[in-house]
């Protein structure tokens, strides 16, 4: 049993990311005025935004629905990722690391949706007049996790192919 | 090349068609699911309070348009106070006790004591009222009214019933309640006293007779006229339409200042008012001459003989006598007339009251004992005839008080009742001075209620009903005075009522309280006037709930009939309890009438039922009608009027939709700071700021029709006919992220943020719908927010100052007029097929020099050239305040750019893009066009 759940130790990383995410969001809510950018560096503002649905704009004006839609999808994805993590050996950090980041990121935003009905975003990156959609620490974890996993899949496939090709 | 993808056309999912009857219920479900009322209250918990205290509608029957108007106005006030930064709770209420519910229950279960005993009858009344409340509640919620619907106040709640008793205890304690025999409106069918508010007036035919009363002391009478000797054959004459009151006659009143004449006739001397001698003699069929005259004051106590009983009737002075009709002398039966009562009281404390509550004379009354009073009239007239006291007898049609329930005539009848005395503890004086601490809207409300309080008699608060809150007293059987421990006991009873409802008093065993005194005291079974019950809601609700702040509340808002109703009873109880009015402001609205100003009735077929409007047009259209109508006068409504309102609704909705469509792809991080904005956009922000100031002021002073007019004009004229029209080119053809386009989007975003707040108190469903499409909204509804703070007036050194803007608008008007004939002749399709020369004075030209290059965008033509040359003969001139501008148009001969539709000379100069103009090339493949002004 203990051996089976060994890779759950990686959830400590998820927990750290969740804490970091919620802490930064709390600071943003405390110090920022809604939708009023605070310049930090050239190309970076802190801009507090409430995200009710974002990408799924068709849901964002269906009153009430989007909250449940996102809650259910995010919960399902989190459970799936945890199962994946459980089946991965604890020492396989190349896979465990992105999985635990993804879990942390998903839960970070899930907490917002469940308690507030929206997600708190505040990182506003831009170049001249072109703005990236405003995001937060949880989004960063998810993005890094996904990119990592994609790279991992590509490289491991190449490695497999090479190994197979290399066989006499 | 296809340039479609290089153009940013407006896109939104926000539906053009409102479909309010279908969509509104979904939004109500969402408000219920997210507990919107409490979410807002929680959000606003730290704000200052603004309390609109709800006047309770009567819990009987479905709501009609008047109810809808009242609740919508309240909702507009509450929501606008939320937006103004207050915490504005709203606890709706219902008035539950009283006769109409008893009558409804009687219809099904018979009168009390027939099938049901009083306790079971009250239980039925309670059940019936609860059902009615449920029906009304659904309809009120459907109107979009936000409030604590799941926890309203009901005057039949045990806690409220206890609150009524506690309020009464306080009023008793402060010395305002007195026991008295007084004539009150009495309905024989109700077998109960009626309140002034339960009285209607209707016509009735009554006998009208003149009756002679013989003077007792001829010498005293002669003396009153300054005559020598004695006049022994003299009588006075009275005129009455209520012969049945003659057995209770105790006096005849004369006016102290009036002149009376002694008239010598064939049947002896008659006393009449001098001015009425001729008409009286004519009526009596007599001739006579005036022997002497005197003033009423000198006739005091020249007493007379009752016409058929062996007793004396006093001759008294009273202010209520006039020489307008009759004989100028008034027969007084103090038990059956308020004025008689007050007049006789000064001479005698005795009140003869031979008529029982069942309309029969007491059995021991000589001559007429046991007869019904309406049957007795002919017998009395016959007896007068027989005794030679009848001077004339006819019939008379007049307007008399009727019971509102039974439509039968009521009488005044002296009964033992409880009163709130207007003067015993200076209630009248204190109430009158409290009136001036209140702001009355409209201001004639003050005069109305002042007059009513100034002239009203004592307030009879007792009723003899089953479904009402008891007056829980033990009184001395003989002297009818309350038990010495009354104050303490009433509070104890209130605690019992809080546990078990009003039955706790009716079931209470007097022995438990009175002990040895049980034979000396009796338990009062009277109930309270329902106006008292609702009147004390300031105590039973506002002071008893912990979320409604303190008295006085900010506002009471009801129909204009409530100066005699709820405003009145709340003021009197408030002053009686705390020495102050329970409210700071009182707002009244007019009644609802049809388009011709006629009252609505089923028979006239002009009834507009709110339930029907919900199904056909939706609540927001009804709400807009309420806001658009000046509530200070009568409020006209008809299907036709509502149809017109729904057209205005569409205008506002479509403006918002177009703003949303232009905000496609815009998020707050794309916003441009105010000082970076293009001047035209900045100008719009200034306009919106000015309008918001007006809107705020109008909401603060409850002038909702002003808001409707201003906001509608802003949508139709400022935005629709000008700004949004001018911005099309910039929105569609410039690069998505360009400063100029983002500037325009920022202006539209700010305007929509503000506009949605302005309409949110009125168009609550639509505002929430718009809000759900708003880029990155902070809260789920505009009602969580306060008035928009990102608007600002233009700075003082602003390039597009008022004078420049006026000149530009004048040029725009001239251009549109100038293009009209070309358009009519099909020489041009749109303004972009034309060019204009704008002829200005040198001074004007200088003022516009910096923006000359972009003027064509403001005028929406392909070229606009400013010139100081004299205008040609055909030019269109527009003059305003002595300043004139001239515009000369012509059809453009340049090639048309397929992308922006401007006719420009440089179309085709770029080898890769032969179909488009240089500006478009810059926008498609270059760095992007730069705009400095428009
Ligand atoms: Zn009646
Ligand atoms: Zn072009």
Asked if A58 lies within 8 A of B13 by C-beta distance, the reply is yes
Rg (CA), chain A: 19
Look up residue B87 and give its DSSP letter: B
Q: Cβ contacts (< 8 Å) between A63 and chain B: which residues?
A: 26-27, 30, 34, 768, 772, 780
The C-alpha angle with vertex B194 and arms to B492 and B128, in degrees rounded to 5, equals 65
CA–centroid distance, residue B904 to ligand 2 (Å): 8
- What contacts B882, CB < 8 A, 6 or more positions away? none
Q: Is B912 on the interface with A (CB under 8 A)?
A: no
* pLDDT value at residue A63: 55
Asked if B669 lies within 8 A of A49 by C-beta distance, the reply is yes
Angle, helices B739-759/B724-733, rounded to nearest 10 degrees: 140
* pLDDT value at residue A60: 52
Q: How far is A112 from chain B (nearest CA, A)?
A: 14
pLDDT in tens, A23-51: 999 999 999 999 999 999 999 999 999 98
Asked if A51 lies within 8 A of B776 by C-beta distance, the reply is yes
Assess whether pLDDT exceeds 70 at residue B930.
yes
Q: B382 in helix, strand or coil? A: helix
**Closest ligand (CA of B188):** 1
Contact (CB, 8 A) for B865 and B836: yes
Assess whether pLDDT exceeds 50 at residue B230.
yes
Q: Which of B737, B742, B778 sits opposite A34 (nearest CB)?
A: B778
Q: Which of B30, B670, B739 sits opposite A64 (nearest CB)?
A: B30
Q: Mean pLDDT in chain B?
A: 94
Phi, psi of B821 (to 5 degrees): -60, -40
Cα–Cα distance measured from residue B862 to residue B832, given in angstroms and rounded to the nearest whole number: 5
* pLDDT value at residue A87: 87
Q: Cβ contacts (< 8 Å) between B777 and chain A: which residues?
A: 50, 52
* pLDDT value at residue A64: 59
- Confidence band (pLDDT; 50, 70, 90) for B359? confident
- What contacts B853, CB < 8 A, 6 or more positions away? none
Assess whether pLDDT exceeds 70 at residue B931.
yes
The complex's ipTM? 0.81
pLDDT in tens, B546-565: 889 999 999 999 999 999 99
| CA nearest to B785 within chain A | A34
- Give the mean pLDDT of B380-392: 94
pLDDT in tens, B650-663: 999 999 999 999 99
Q: Is B772 on the interface with A (CB under 8 A)?
A: yes
- Confidence band (pLDDT; 50, 70, 90) for B464? confident
Q: Which two tokens stand for residue B542?
A: 């506002």
* pLDDT value at residue B33: 87
Q: Is B883 on the interface with A (CB under 8 A)?
A: no
pLDDT in tens, B735-777: 999 999 999 999 999 999 999 999 999 999 999 999 989 988 8
Where helices occur in B419-529 by DSSP H, the ranges are 427-435, 444-455, 486-500, 503-506, 510-514
- Give the mean pLDDT of B19-33: 93
- Give the mean pLDDT of B822-839: 95
Assess whether pLDDT exceeds 50 at residue B71.
yes
Asked if A61 lies within 8 A of B13 by C-beta distance, the reply is yes
Q: Number of residue pairs across A and B with CB atoms under 8 Å?
A: 59
* pLDDT value at residue A93: 85
Lowest-confidence pick of A80-94, B101-115, B189-203, B614-628: B189-203
Handedness of CA B900, B901, B904, B907 (dihedral sign): positive
* pLDDT value at residue A62: 58
Q: Cβ contacts (< 8 Å) between A34 and chain B: which residues?
A: 778
Assess whether pLDDT exceeds 60 at residue B467.
yes
Q: Cβ contacts (< 8 Å) between A66 and chain B: which residues?
A: none
Q: For residue B832, give the nearest of B877, B906, B897 by alpha carbon.
A: B897
- Confidence band (pLDDT; 50, 70, 90) for B382? very high
Counting every residue written for chain B, the total comes to 934
Assess whether pLDDT exceeds 50 at residue A57.
no
**Closest ligand (CA of B189):** 1
Q: Tell me the DSSP string of B17-30.
A: S--HHHHHHHHHHH
Assess whether pLDDT exceeds 60 at residue B836.
yes
Per CB distance under 8 Å, which residues of A are interface residues toward B?
34-35, 37, 45, 47, 49-52, 57-58, 60-64, 117, 124, 126, 128-131, 133-134
Assess whether pLDDT exceeds 60 at residue A168.
no
- Confidence band (pLDDT; 50, 70, 90) for A1? very low
* pLDDT value at residue A164: 67
* Better pLDDT: B188 or A162: B188
Q: Is B742 on the interface with A (CB under 8 A)?
A: yes
* pLDDT value at residue B933: 95
Phi, psi of B82 (to 5 degrees): -60, -50
Where helices occur in chain A by DSSP H, the ranges are 11-31, 57-60, 65-87, 93-116, 137-166
Mutate to test the interface with B, among A32, A35, A56, A65 (most CBs of B within 10 A): A35
**Closest ligand (CA of B900):** 2
Asked if B737 lies within 8 A of A34 by C-beta distance, the reply is no
Asked if A131 lies within 8 A of B772 by C-beta distance, the reply is no
Q: Cβ contacts (< 8 Å) between A35 and chain B: which residues?
A: 668, 671, 776, 778
Look up residue B149 and give its DSSP letter: T
- Give the mean pLDDT of B432-456: 95
CA–centroid distance, residue B733 to ligand 2 (Å): 8
First to last CA, chain B: 29
pLDDT in tens, B246-285: 999 999 999 999 999 999 999 999 999 999 999 999 999 9
| CA nearest to B779 within chain A | A50
* pLDDT value at residue B271: 95
* pLDDT value at residue B72: 98
CA–centroid distance, residue B617 to ligand 1 (Å): 41
Assess whether pLDDT exceeds 90 at residue B135.
yes
- Give the mean pLDDT of B612-617: 96
Q: Tell me the DSSP string of B597-634.
A: SPBP-TTTT----HHHHHHHT-HHHHHHHHHHS-TTS-
* pLDDT value at residue A4: 63
Asked if B667 lies within 8 A of A134 by C-beta distance, the reply is yes
* pLDDT value at residue A59: 52
* pLDDT value at residue A56: 45
Asked if B670 lies within 8 A of A129 by C-beta distance, the reply is yes
Contact (CB, 8 A) for B272 and B237: yes
- Give the mean pLDDT of B382-387: 94
Assess whether pLDDT exceeds 60 at residue A166.
no
The C-alpha angle with vertex B262 and arms to B241 and B389, in degrees rounded to 5, equals 40
First to last CA, chain A: 41
- Residue at token pair 């709930």: B545
Q: How far is B750 from chain A (nearest CA, A)?
A: 12
Assess whether pLDDT exceeds 80 at residue A2.
no
Q: For residue B736, give the nearest of B39, B9, B173 by alpha carbon.
A: B9
For chain A, give every domain's residue range.
Answer: 7-32+45-129+136-164
- Give the mean pLDDT of B26-30: 92
């Amino acid at each position: 049993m203990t051996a089976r759940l060994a890779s759950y130790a990686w959830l400590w990383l998820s927990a750290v990311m969740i804490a970091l995410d919620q802490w930064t969001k709390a600071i943003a809510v405390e110090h920022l005025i809604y939708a009023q950018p605070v310049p930090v560096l050239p190309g970076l503002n802190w801009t507090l935004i409430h995200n009710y649905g974002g990408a799924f704009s068709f849901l964002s004006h269906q009153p009430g629905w989007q909250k449940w839609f996102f809650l259910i999808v995010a919960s399902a994805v989190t459970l799936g990722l945890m199962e994946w993590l459980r089946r991965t050996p604890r020492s396989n950090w190349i896979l465990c690391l992105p999985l635990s980041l993804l879990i942390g990121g998903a839960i970070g935003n899930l907490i917002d949706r469940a308690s507030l009905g929206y997600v708190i975003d505040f990182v506003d990156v831009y170049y001249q007049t072109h703005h990236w959609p405003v995001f937060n620490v949880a989004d960063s974890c998810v993005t890094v996790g996904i990119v990592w996993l994609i790279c991992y899949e590509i490289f491991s496939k190449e490695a497999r192919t090479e190994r197979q090709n290399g066989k006499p | 090349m296809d340039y479609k993808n290089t153009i940013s056309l407006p896109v939104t999912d926000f539906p053009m068609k409102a479909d309010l009857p279908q969509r509104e219920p979904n939004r109500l479900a969402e408000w219920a699911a997210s507990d919107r009322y409490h979410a807002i209250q929680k959000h606003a918990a730290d704000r200052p309070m603004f309390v609109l205290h709800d006047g309770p509608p009567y819990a009987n029957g479905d709501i009609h348009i008047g109810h809808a108007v009242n609740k919508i106005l309240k909702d507009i006030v509450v929501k606008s106070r939320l937006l103004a930064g207050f915490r504005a709770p709203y606890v709706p209420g219902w008035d539950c006790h009283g006769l109409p519910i008893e009558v409804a229950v009687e219809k099904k279960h018979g009168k009390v004591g027939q099938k049901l005993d009083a306790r079971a009858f009250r239980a039925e009344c309670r059940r019936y009222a609860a059902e009615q409340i449920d029906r009304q509640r659904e309809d009120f919620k459907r109107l979009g009214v936000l409030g604590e619907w799941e926890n309203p106040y009901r005057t039949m709640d045990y806690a409220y019933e206890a609150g009524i008793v506690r309020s009464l205890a306080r009023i008793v304690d402060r010395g305002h309640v007195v026991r008295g025999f007084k004539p009150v409106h009495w309905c024989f069918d109700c077998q109960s006293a009626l309140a002034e508010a339960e009285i209607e007036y209707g016509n009735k035919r009554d006998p009208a007779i003149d009756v002679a009363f013989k003077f007792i002391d001829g010498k005293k009478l002669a003396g009153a006229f300054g005559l020598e000797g004695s006049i022994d054959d003299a009588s006075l004459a009275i005129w009455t339409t209520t012969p049945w009151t003659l057995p209770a006659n105790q006096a005849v009143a004369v006016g102290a200042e009036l002149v009376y004449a002694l008239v010598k006739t064939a049947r002896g001397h008659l006393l009449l008012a001098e001015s009425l001698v001729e008409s009286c003699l004519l009526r009596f069929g007599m001739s006579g001459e005036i022997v002497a005259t005197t003033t009423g004051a000198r006739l005091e106590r020249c007493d007379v003989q009752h016409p058929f009983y062996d007793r004396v009737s006093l001759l008294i002075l009273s202010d209520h006598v006039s020489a307008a009709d009759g004989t100028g002398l008034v027969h007084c039966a103090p038990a059956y007339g308020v004025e008689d009562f007050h007049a006789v009281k000064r001479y005698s404390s005795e009140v003869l009251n031979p008529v029982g509550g069942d309309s029969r004379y007491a059995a021991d009354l000589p001559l007429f004992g046991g007869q019904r009073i309406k049957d007795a009239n002919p017998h009395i007239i016959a007896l007068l005839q027989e005794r030679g006291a009848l001077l004339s007898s006819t019939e008379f049609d007049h307007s008399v008080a009727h019971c509102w329930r039974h439509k039968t005539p009521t009488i005044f009848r002296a009964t033992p009742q409880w009163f709130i005395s207007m003067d015993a503890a200076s209630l009248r004086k204190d109430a009158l001075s409290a009136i001036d601490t209140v702001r009355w809207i409209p201001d004639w409300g003050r005069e109305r209620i002042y007059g009513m309080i100034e002239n009203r008699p004592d307030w009879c608060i007792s009723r003899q009903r089953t479904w009402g809150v008891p007056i829980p007293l033990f009184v001395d059987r003989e002297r009818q005075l309350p038990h010495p421990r009354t104050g303490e006991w009433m509070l104890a009873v209130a605690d019992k009522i809080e546990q078990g409802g009003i039955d706790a008093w009716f079931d209470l065993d007097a022995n438990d309280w009175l002990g040895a005194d049980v034979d000396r005291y009796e338990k009062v079974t009277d109930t309270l006037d329902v106006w008292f019950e609702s009147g004390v809601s300031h105590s039973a609700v506002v002071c008893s709930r912990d979320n409604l702040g303190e008295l006085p509340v900010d506002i009471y808002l009801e129909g204009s009939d409530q100066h005699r109703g709820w405003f009145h009873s709340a003021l009197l109880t408030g002053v009686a309890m705390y020495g102050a009015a329970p409210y700071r402001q009182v707002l009244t609205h007019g009644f609802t009438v049809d388009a011709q100003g006629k009252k609505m009735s089923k028979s006239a077929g002009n009834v507009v039922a709110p339930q029907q409007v919900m199904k056909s047009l939706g609540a927001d259209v009804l709400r807009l009608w309420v806001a658009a109508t000046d509530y200070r006068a009568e409020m006209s409504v008809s299907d036709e009027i509502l149809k017109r309102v729904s057209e205005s609704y569409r205008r506002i909705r479509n403006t918002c939709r177009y703003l949303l469509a232009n905000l496609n792809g815009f998020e707050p991080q794309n916003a441009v700071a105010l000082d970076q904005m293009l001047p035209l956009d900045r100008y719009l922000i200034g306009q919106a700021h000015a309008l918001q100031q007006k809107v705020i002021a109008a909401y603060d002073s409850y002038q909702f029709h002003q808001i409707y007019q201003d906001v509608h004009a802003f949508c139709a004229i400022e935005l629709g006919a000008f700004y949004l029209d001018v911005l099309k080119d910039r929105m569609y053809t410039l690069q998505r992220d360009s400063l100029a386009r983002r500037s325009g989007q920022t202006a539209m975003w700010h305007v929509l943020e503000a506009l949605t707040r302005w309409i949110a108190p009125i168009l609550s469903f639509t505002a929430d719908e718009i809000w759900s499409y708003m880029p990155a909204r902070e809260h789920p509804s505009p009602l969580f927010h306060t008035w928009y703070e990102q608007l600002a007036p233009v700075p003082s050194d602003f390039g597009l100052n008022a004078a420049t803007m006026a000149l530009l608008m004048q040029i725009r008007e001239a251009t549109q007029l100038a293009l009209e004939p070309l358009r009519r002749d099909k020489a041009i399709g749109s303004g972009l097929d034309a060019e204009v020369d704008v002829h200005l004075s040198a001074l004007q030209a200088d003022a516009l020099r910096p923006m000359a290059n972009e003027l064509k965008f403001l005028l929406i033509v392909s070229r606009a050239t400013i010139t100081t040359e004299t205008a040609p003969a055909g030019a269109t001139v527009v003059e305003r305040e002595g300043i004139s501008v001239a515009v000369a148009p012509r059809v453009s001969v340049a090639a048309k750019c397929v992308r922006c539709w401007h006719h420009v000379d440089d179309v085709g100069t770029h080898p890769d893009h032969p179909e488009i103009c240089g500006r478009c090339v810059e926008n498609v493949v270059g760095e992007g066009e730069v705009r400095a002004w428009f």
